[in-house]
Structure 1
Amino acid sequence: MTLQQLEGLDVKPLNIGNVPNKKWPSNIPQKSTTPQIIHTDTDKIEEVPRRRRSCFFWIILIGLILIGILVAVIVVVMIVTKLMITTTATITITTTTATTITTTTTPIICTPSCINGGNCTATNTCVCNALVWTGSYCQTPVHIFWSFDSTLQDLYNNFNGIGINTPGYSSPGYNGAGACLWLNQSLSQSVTINTTFLNMAYTSFTLEVWAYANSLHNNNPYTDNAVFGQFQQNIQDHSLHIIIRNQRIYLGFFSDDLQGNQVLYPNQWYHMAYIYDYSTSTQYVYVNGYLDNSRNLSGPYQGTSGAMTIGTNGVNAPNNYFDGCLDSIAYFGRSKNASEVLYDATVVAYLCFDNSSLLD
């Protein structure tokens, strides 16, 4: 019977009140009053989607949990990284702020001060004009040159002369050209250089000159023919006198002197060199390029004052004026060697020979 047939039946309720109370046989199971669930095929069909929905739910739930964990990890990493960056930046700022740079400038001082155009480039270090000045503070001239070509000026315009009693000039000079300084002994003519002091104390030097004497004193040791001088006082090593005495070349510091051996004669040109080597404490005199004599000194030249003079000096004054012509006086702030002196004398001698001068 189908479900539709059952629905068409007229079912009446059973009146069980009139049914006699009878016991059910023991071998027949009693009808349970507990409702029982009867599973049909339809129920099984509906259970499959429910299971699928349940699995899908758990998958989504687990996925959400994993995503949450991942997000949490990312957040933690970002926080830690930010803390590290903040800490590093703080350390860097602290280090930069603590750095201090201090600069100290030390003034450059030269004592004594540089003179004659010298520049103080470091403490007590003067840079001098190498062609003109030398010394610790540029106090010593490298070279002085008086040509006497109708002038008393120094070539470098530092030690210009002043004529005393109107000295004159004579032409030609020693090399057959130019002029020379003409001095008349009887008129006490000379030249003074007092514009700048020349400090020759405790230092080497060379003085060269061409000389032509009209007359030479040869009888009186106290009558000289002065070429150059610097007089401070008549005590040992304090009075420089470069002269001709007893017809011989003579280099004196006063009581500490050197006299040459070669006899000189009037009316002849001579190249004379007077040299002092402070390092060896030795005096040298040369005539026409060759060594005439030398000696060791008792002490160095110590004159620290006094004007330079040409044609006279303070020793044996007034009987020491030069009589004749002086030409091309050259001063060097060092001691020249024999080769240099010979070169100075012989090269000029060659020029003089070509010009038919009075050179011997």
Structure 2
Amino acid sequence: TSTTTAAFIDQAFWPLDNNTLELYNGLNGVLSGTPSYTTSFLGYGAAISLSQASSQYVYISPTVIPLDSRSFTIEAWIYPIGFTASDFGIFGQCQATITNRCLHFTSRNIMLYCGFFANDIAGVTTLTMNAWSHVACVYDSTARIQQVWLNGVLDASRSASPYQ
């Protein structure tokens, strides 16, 4: 039996400016459905517009970016339109649906939510609809702290076991 170890990736960036290309590692996305593009928060360029109702998303290969047992930050600019109490995905990767093996960064109940499956943190601030927000899910593996950030302000923080 042979084992393949994923290469360490210290950064990845998808501008989503009229395409799903990743700029540093070739982790280019593949579209599911036919999302549209709209004006970015900068007022030039484009931003991808995904509809949960139409099952639109961007799939990245490899399916798992090696974030296990290390510090990481996942950040995005989002423009929520009509979010509800449901989950609306921002980023996710799942090795197994067991504790600490399924990373998900979403809006849940119209607030930020970041977790590793049964080891999660929920934000306390309601997201503003029809406005750009900068959001982040942070895990500090040394301090074992999980955080969600909204527009540069810490929204929630807790002690947490590492993502595995």
Q: Partners in 2 of 1:273 and 1:157 — Cα distance? A: 21
Choose the corresponding residue for 1:245, options 85, 105, 108: 108
Give the structure 2 partner of residue 293 of structure 1. Answer: 156
TM-score of the superposed pair, with normalisation by structure 1: 0.43
Contact map agreement 1:158 1:196 (CA 8 A) in 2 = no
Once the two structures are TM-superposed, the CA of residue 272 in structure 1 deviates from its matched residue by: 0.6
Give the structure 2 partner of residue 309 of structure 1. Answer: none
Give the structure 2 partner of residue 204 of structure 1. Answer: 71
Q: In the alignment, residue 99 of structure 2 is paired with which amino acid? A: Q
Contact map agreement 1:201 1:300 (CA 8 A) in 2 = yes
Give the structure 1 partner of residue 31 of structure 2. Answer: 163
Give the structure 2 partner of residue 182 of structure 1. Answer: 49
Contact map agreement 1:159 1:196 (CA 8 A) in 2 = no
Q: Partners in 1 of 2:142 and 2:35 — Cα distance? A: 37
Give the structure 2 partner of residue 225 of structure 1. Answer: 88
Give the structure 2 partner of residue 257 of structure 1. Answer: 120
Structure ranking higher in helix proportion: 1
Q: Partners in 2 of 1:195 and 1:243 — Cα distance? A: 20
Give the structure 1 partner of residue 147 of structure 2. Answer: 284
Change over 3 Å in CA distance of 1:236–1:195 after alignment to 2: closer
Q: Partners in 1 of 2:76 and 2:8 — Cα distance? A: 20
User: Is it true that 1:152 corresponds to 2:14 in the alignment?
Assistant: no
Q: Partners in 2 of 1:246 and 1:160 — Cα distance? A: 30
Contact map agreement 1:160 1:195 (CA 8 A) in 2 = no
Once the two structures are TM-superposed, the CA of residue 195 in structure 1 deviates from its matched residue by: 4.0
Contact map agreement 2:64 2:95 (CA 8 A) in 1 = no
Q: Partners in 2 of 1:174 and 1:210 — Cα distance? A: 8
Structure 2, unaligned stretches of length 5 or more? none
Q: In the alignment, residue 136 of structure 2 is paired with which amino acid? A: A
Contact map agreement 2:63 2:93 (CA 8 A) in 1 = no
Q: Partners in 2 of 1:245 and 1:280 — Cα distance? A: 26
**After superposition, where does 1:92-111 map in structure 2 within 5 Å?**
none
Give the structure 2 partner of residue 307 of structure 1. Answer: none
Contact map agreement 1:139 1:199 (CA 8 A) in 2 = yes
Once the two structures are TM-superposed, the CA of residue 196 in structure 1 deviates from its matched residue by: 6.6
Q: In the alignment, residue 208 of structure 1 is paired with which amino acid? A: E
Q: Partners in 2 of 1:196 and 1:227 — Cα distance? A: 15
Q: Partners in 2 of 1:275 and 1:168 — Cα distance? A: 29
Give the structure 2 partner of residue 43 of structure 1. Answer: none
Q: In the alignment, residue 179 of structure 1 is paired with which amino acid? A: A
TM-score of the superposed pair, with normalisation by structure 2: 0.92
Once the two structures are TM-superposed, the CA of residue 240 in structure 1 deviates from its matched residue by: 0.5
Q: In the alignment, residue 300 of structure 1 is paired with which amino acid? A: P
Q: In the alignment, residue 156 of structure 1 is paired with which amino acid? A: Y
Q: Partners in 1 of 2:116 and 2:64 — Cα distance? A: 18
Identity of aligned residues (%): 38
Q: Partners in 2 of 1:150 and 1:175 — Cα distance? A: 14
Q: Which runs of 4+ in 1 moved over 3 A?
A: none
3-state SS, counterpart of residue 53 of structure 2: helix
Contact map agreement 2:99 2:116 (CA 8 A) in 1 = yes
User: Is it true that 1:191 corresponds to 2:54 in the alignment?
Assistant: no
| Higher gyration radius (CA) | 1
